[in-house]
Amino acid sequence: MMPGLSHYLLLAAGLFGIGVYGVLSRRNVIAVLMSVELMLNAVNINFIAAAKFVNHEQIVGQVFALFVIVVAAAEVAVGLALIIAMYRHKKSVNLNDFNLLKW
């Protein structure tokens, strides 16, 4: 059996779900950042799969995936920088220590 579109979508959904779970439940900022990466990659899989199965004359999906990878790299750079700044400030990477937005 050839894997069809829905298989890819299911894989992506699973990956996205794991990412969401990670973002919402992990207290370690680095783990959260990594979970965000998982979600982005789930999106990438969707793009590629759609490019292959829905519109394979053009390579729009692949281009988008490349964009996402670039943005993700930038995001990681900024994110890690922020994390370092926060760590310097609080000596911690636990998200519970960063509830400064509270009124």
Interface positions with other proteins (CB under 8 A)? 20, 23-25, 32, 95-96, 98-103
**Which C-beta is closer to other proteins: that of 32 or that of 42?**
32
The whole-angstrom separation of Cα 95 and Cα 25 is: 10
Q: Are 69 and 44 in contact (CB under 8 A)?
A: yes
CB of 27 to other proteins, least distance (A): 8
Smallest separation, CB 75 to other proteins (Å) = 15
Cβ closest to other proteins, residue 5 vs residue 82: 82
Rounded distance between C-alpha atoms, residue 92 and residue 12, angstroms: 32
How many residues are recorded in the chain? 103
Q: Smallest distance, Å, CB 47 to other proteins?
A: 19
Considering the complex, state which of residue 2 and residue 24 has its C-beta at the smaller distance from other proteins.
24
In angstroms, what is the minimal distance from the CB of 97 to other proteins? 10
Closer Cβ to other proteins, 9 or 95, answer by number = 95
Give bridge partners of residue 94 from the DSSP assignment: 28
The residue type at 56? H
N-term to C-term CA, the chain:
56
